[in-house]
Amino acid sequence: MDLLDRLRSRTNDLARTTDVEGVRAAIRHIQAAERHYQRASEEGDEEALNDVIYRTNQAFEGMLKEAFGVLSSSDGNKKSPYEIEKHLLEKNVLTERVLVLFKNYRQEWRNPSTHNHLLFFDEQEALLAIVSVSAFANILLDQIVEAENFAAEQRMLAETPPAIDTSVSTKVPQPFSYQVAHMLGRFARSRHVAAMSEEGAAGGRQSEFALVGQISAFLKTVAPDIEIAREPLLGEDRGLRPDIIVRRGTESTVVEIKATSPGSKSIMRGIEQLRAYVTVGDFSDGILFFASQGGYTDVSILEMQFETTGISRTLRIVSSDAASSTYWFEMSEYWQAMSAQAKVEVWSST
């Protein structure tokens, strides 16, 4: 994996909503660090290894400044690196994954190189610094992309409020998960409308982080009384982190988001993920949402029930009916093995 290529891709994602020159400057510092490392390796210039650290430090501080501006809605140019780091730590702004990388880089490279001018770094330390700051910048940029897309979606919805939902009957009380599934279907339709307009059309596939930001903003707009938890840890297994958990009062449902159209493998993998989430987290239901680029109007919600730990649980799969109908037929044996009951609801905008 080329971490710089991933950084550039995420930067292009971010460019849809905000100025990215500061992020690109941080990327240039990482590129310069790689050149210093190459010079040290090819020419035996060990002094260049210290230059590697100085450049990765610049990238580290630059990314923190960009994050501070977005996540704290403040001007990072008016704050010192110490003030920015102090704020991000004390206000619990950074996600858990970003925080781990932040503390590691600051402890291993940033602080030693800043406070001790007599230090010398060897080739392995310089390589680790490049890899560490590149990983940190990537994961932090994911959080920035998500936050910026959340804000951009809120601004768009304030200008053009979503239409009233007529797909959910108000006569018969529906489960909370059923209501959230329909909200996600409305989001898919709103994306389709935006993609059809000249202003809403955007080239390239968006990352899942951009989508999560947009989806969270949409849900908060159409249902202001809900709360959204991002990537909460379920149980003690680090791999059990659903994309979001949506709560309203004592009700909650877990949602896994796929930034693609459904396929038989992605459906099965998504279902297995959800089965694990609802079982370990002791949820009565969960939602698998395929948020394909450009949205769709022919919304399909497949509802299936299964039993784990002696409890009946429900999964709802939200996707485009046109894209998924073939797979429902092809996976009939899988449905039978997984569930004794399954039904599909299809609704389209008119």
Strand partners, 252: 247
DSSP code at position 45:
-
* pLDDT for position 77: 80
Containing 152, the helix (H) or strand (E) segment is helix 123-159
251-258/227-230 β-pairing: unpaired
pLDDT score of 341: 59
Cα(324)–Cα(236) distance, integer angstroms: 34
Q: What pLDDT was estimated at residue 110?
A: 86
Q: What is the pTM of this model?
A: 0.86
Has residue 330 got a pLDDT over 70? no
Q: Which two tokens stand for residue 85?
A: 């780091």
Task: Name which of 5, 62, 1, 10 is nearest 204 in CA terms.
Answer: 10
**Residue 160's pLDDT is what?**
84
Nearest alpha carbon to residue 278 among 302, 255, 257, 259: 255
Segment 284-299 shows an average pLDDT of 89
The sign of the CA dihedral 247, 249, 250, 251 is negative
- What is the per-residue pLDDT across 120-144, written as a single tens digit (0 to 9) for each? 889 999 999 999 999 999 999 999 9
**Mean per-residue pLDDT of the chain:** 86
> Rounded mean pLDDT of 62-86?
89
182-220 as b/e: b if 16+ CB within 10 A: bbbbbbbbbbbebeeeeebeeeeebbbbbbbbbbbbbbb
Whole-number Å distance between alpha carbons of 113 and 107: 10
Output Rg (C-alpha) for the chain, integer angstroms: 23
Residues recorded for the chain:
350
Two tokens at 299? 């919304």
Residues 47-67: tens digit of each pLDDT: 899 999 999 999 999 999 999
Tens-place pLDDT, residues 205-217: 778 999 999 999 9
pLDDT digits (tens, 9 = 90+) for 223-276: 999 999 999 999 887 678 999 999 999 999 999 999 888 887 888 889 889 999
pLDDT reported for residue 201: 44
Least confident of 22-31, 115-124, 127-136, 295-304: 115-124
Confidence of residue 200 (pLDDT cuts 50, 70, 90): very low
